[in-house]
A = this chain, B = another copy of it.
Amino acid sequence: MPISPKELLESLNFRYATKVFDPTRKIEADTWAALEASLVLTPSSFGLQPWRFIVVKSSEIRDKLKASSWGQGQVTDASHLIVFTVRTDLSQQDIDAWIRRLSDVQDTPLENLAGYAGMISSFSANMSQSEKQAWNTRQVYIALGQLMTAAAVMKIDTCPLEGISPGDYNEILGLKDSGYTAVVACALGYRSSDDSHAKAKKARFTAETLIKHV
């Protein structure tokens, strides 16, 4: 059963960047499993999935990350915290790994995927390492968008956290020399009744400003 346009709008208006989470409320296991699935199922260019998601449960690690996130309380107080990381490169090995996986899952001979593999290779051949990293980084924002929307329709609160120090995060999470780098984080859980931001009127430019019809 699809949800109605009205229900979608209610969910989108329910969502806001939660500043104060209720530290006593935890997301249920089946809901959390669906949110992890939303990360896994996020679409990406050519299907490459140039990312890894780190779910940080350790309160010790979350304390350290908070100190590298302008002290934002959401890092420690939300039910769950996800750090989004991306590949710093896109190598032939990365492409080969994806093509092998595709071949396995769809039970398709590798030969039949050679054209597709070649298209990805020739596309990426014109990019520098930093351009590849930037491309991967854009992709992971699709995952962030999908996650926040998926959470909203299940009435789970979120706060995207761009104000993090990726260098510190990489060190704390042991990502140095892993080929991945932290980009952005997202806290998930339930808003505290003390969060005055929940009552603030949602502010956007008008639809007439943002959307043009041609």
Residues of A within 8 A of B (CB): 1-9, 11-13, 15, 17, 30-31, 33-34, 36-43, 45, 47, 49, 51-58, 61, 98, 101-102, 105-107, 134, 137-139, 141-150, 153-155, 160, 162, 173, 200-205, 207, 209-214
Closest B residue to A172 by beta carbon equals B214
15 contacts between A and B (CB under 8 A): A2-B11, A5-B31, A8-B34, A12-B37, A12-B38, A39-B210, A43-B160, A54-B212, A55-B212, A57-B213, A98-B205, A105-B204, A141-B142, A142-B160, A149-B149
Q: How far is the CA of A138 from the CA of B137 in the complex (A)?
A: 7
Q: A15 to chain B: which residues have CB within 8 Å? A: 41, 43
Chain B: minimal CB distance from A166 (Å): 13
Flag if B41 contacts A202 (CB, 8 Å). Answer: yes
Instruction: Judge whether A45 and B162 touch: CB under 8 Å.
Output: yes
Q: A13-B41, A138-B137, A201-B106 are in contact. Are A154 and B2 (CB under 8 A)?
A: yes
